[in-house]
Structure 1
Amino acid sequence: MYPPVDPIIVQIGPLALRWYGLLIVVAIIVGVTVASREVERRGQKSDDFWDMTIWVLIPAFIGARLYYVFVQSPRGENGLGSFLQNPVMILQIWQGGIHIFGAFIFGAIALWIYTRIKRLPLLIFMDAIALSLPLAQAIGRWGNFINQELYGPPTNLPWGLHIDPNHRIGPYQDLTTYPETTRFHPLFLYESLWNFVGFGLIFWISRRFSRQLRDGDITLLYLIWYPTGRFFIEFLRTDSWFFTGTPFNVVHILCFIAVVGSAIILYRRHGSGQSSYSGTS
Structure 2
Amino acid sequence: MLVYLPSPDRGVWYLGPVPLRAYALCIIAGIVVAVLWGEKRFVARGGEPGTVVDVAVFAVPFGLVGGRLYHVATDWETYFGPGGNPVDALKIWQGGLGIWGAIALGGVGAWIACRRRGVPLPFFADAVAPGIVVAQAIGRLGNYFNQELFGGPTTLPWGLEIYDRVDPVTGLPDALGGVALDATPIAIVHPTFLYELLWNLVVAVVIVWADRRFRLGHGRVFALYVAGYTLGRFFIELMRTDPATRVFGDIRINVVVSAVVFVVAVAYVLLVRKPREELARPDAERAAVADAGNDAGDDGSPGDEAVSGTARDRAP
Deviations 1:90-125 (A, max 9, x none): 232232421111101111112222222332121111
Question: For residues 117 and 238 of structure 1, do their structure 2 counterparts lie closer, same or farther at Cα, with a shift above 3 Å needed?
Answer: same
Q: 1:198 aligned to 2:197?
A: no
Match of 1:90 in 2: 89
Native 8 Å contact 1:70 1:80 kept in 2 = no
Match of 1:103 in 2: 102
The range that moved more, 107-116 or 228-237, is 107-116
Deviations 1:113-139 (A, max 9, x none): 222233212111111221211111111
Q: CA deviation at 1:245?
A: 3.3
Native 8 Å contact 2:134 2:204 kept in 1 = yes
Match of 2:38 in 1: 35
Q: CA deviation at 1:187?
A: 0.9
Match of 2:65 in 1: 62
Match of 1:171 in 2: none
Q: What is the distance in 2 between the residues matched to 1:181 and 1:18? A: 23
Aligned length: 259
Runs of 4+ in 1 over 4 A off after TM superposition: 82-85
Match of 1:222 in 2: 225
Native 8 Å contact 1:215 1:280 kept in 2 = no
Q: What is the distance in 1 between the residues matched to 2:233 and 2:33? A: 22
Map 1:1-281 to 2 at 5 A. Answer: 1-4=5-8, 6-13=10-17, 15-72=18-75, 79-81=78-80, 86-166=85-165, 180-210=185-215, 213-239=216-242, 240-243=244-247, 245-246=249-250, 248-270=251-273, 277-280=275-278
Q: CA deviation at 1:38?
A: 0.9
Q: What is the distance in 1 between the residues matched to 2:257 and 2:219? A: 19
SS in 1 for 2:245: coil
Native 8 Å contact 1:35 1:128 kept in 2 = yes
Is there any run of 5+ residues in structure 1 with no aligned partner, and where? Answer: 169-178, 271-275
Native 8 Å contact 2:230 2:259 kept in 1 = yes
Q: CA deviation at 1:82?
A: 6.9
* Larger of the two Rg values belongs to structure: 2
Q: What is the distance in 1 between the residues matched to 2:272 and 2:123? A: 16
Deviations 1:200-221 (A, max 9, x none): 11112222322xx222110111
Deviations 1:54-104 (A, max 9, x none): 11100110111121122146x8xxx23379953432232232421111101
* Root mean square deviation of aligned Cα: 2.5
Structure 2-normalised TM-score? 0.75
Native 8 Å contact 2:164 2:186 kept in 1 = no
